[in-house]
Amino acid sequence: MIAIWARHARLPEGTVPKVRIEIEGERITGITSRCEPEPDDLRFGLVLPGLANGHSHAFHRALRGRVQDTTGNFWTWRDQMYAVARRLTPETYFALAHAVFTEMVTSGFTAVGEFHYLHHGLDGRPYSDPNAMGEAVIAAAQAAGIRLTLLDTLYLAGGLDGSGHVPLDPVQQRFADKDVAAWAGRLNQLRDSATSRIGAAAHSVRAVPKEALEQFASVVGARVVHAHVSEQPAENASCQLIYNRTPTALLEECGIVGDRFTAVHATHVSLADIRMLGRARSFVCFCPTTERDLADGIGPARQFADAGARLTLGSDQNAIIDPFVEARGLEMHERLVSGERGRFSLDELGNAMSRTGYASIGWPDGGVLTVGALADLVAVRRDSMRTVGSRADQIIFSATGDDVTDVLVGGEFVVRDGHHRAGDPSRLLATALSRLRTQ
């Protein structure tokens, strides 16, 4: 058994002083609040529940610092992303994803939903193991000590314009299976484990035609389902022209929208879309650092929450990996568009970072400090130059990932005193990026 005593801990009822947390195996077995520590307890200042990254593309991390100073928009950025996709192999993908996941855990993320669409060889032919790329991601997460939901992604078309769905371009061949049946056959070869789960994703209405979306909905079963939704106005315009519906309405008509569904971005949505996702109790994953970096726009987060949708957060392209920065971005973007402060309560932001984020990627028993929950915990300094002076419950507004000192996943220390057990993330990243750029 491990016993942890925290001067403050964020429990379901709020941030509570003097909390003792008992852990056996991978579960929390006891919680006592307003108590003094026992002699053998490990002591921390502030303990948070595990923090979930609801939407990641690990390989996009290779673009950090290399594309931020260019002109253009999402579509020109996408060409640069495709250039990276051309160079990845299962071996280099493992190295890069391992480094990225190690950076995530060191920054406080304990679970990640990896939106995985880089499936095949450069010419689109499957590897001898058709899930070689997905297995590389799973192995990378295991080595980094982060919980993973591999959101294996259906991708069939090269885009959507006024003429309909267009053919795949050469690099997109890597993303695409022959059809829904081939995708489902490959998906069903993947297996859940103690630290990884297999979810499903439809890349977008651009990349998956309506008939395929209907087939997709019929074969995903009880898995969590994600999709990029209305990230760009051009996507909305094409969908309206071809299907006479918004992307959200098309996904709903095809049987995809529900309480296991996560709409990623949902930036350019209609009021009807908001109400539709709210009624369904769907999740909506905002990725504030990416949405502003790519000039995507600011989505209606407060309206979604008021309609009943459940908000989560992701790092998407991984230009920044920091759970606190993403949470602040959700609030600060709302302030910019509303002209008002305090658009989300501390509890709402905390839940988006943790419990709701875990649920959206298929771990409903994580992201919360309660008896029986997964023992995923994050310790944060309150005495750094950033956090000193903040109340314990205000740490969301002052901390960064640099203030994370210790991380437990499944009752095991993955980060101790600021050091990840796999090594220095910067060195892992430098090695992985060097290998990738010499391909």
CB 239 within 8 A of CB 245: yes
265 as an active site residue: the answer is yes
8 as an active site residue: the answer is no
Residue 162, classified by CB atoms within 10 Å of its CB into exposed (0-12), middle (13-18) or buried (19+), is exposed
Among residues 203, 226, 265, 333, the one annotated as catalytic is 265
**Residue 102, H or E segment:** helix 90-107
Please name the residues in contact with 438: beta carbons below 8 A apart, sequence gap of 6 or more.
Answer: none
Please name the residues in contact with 419: beta carbons below 8 A apart, sequence gap of 6 or more.
Answer: none
Residue type, 313: L
**What strand order describes the sheet that includes 51-56?**
51-56, 109-116, 147-154, 196-202, 225-229, 261-265, 283-286, 310-313
Nearest to 282 by CA among 247, 311, 250, 316: 311
* Residues 277, 91: Cα–Cα separation, whole Å: 39
Among residues 293, 296, 316, 406, the one annotated as catalytic is 316
* Residues 116, 150: Cα–Cα separation, whole Å: 7
Q: Which residues are catalytic?
A: 265, 316
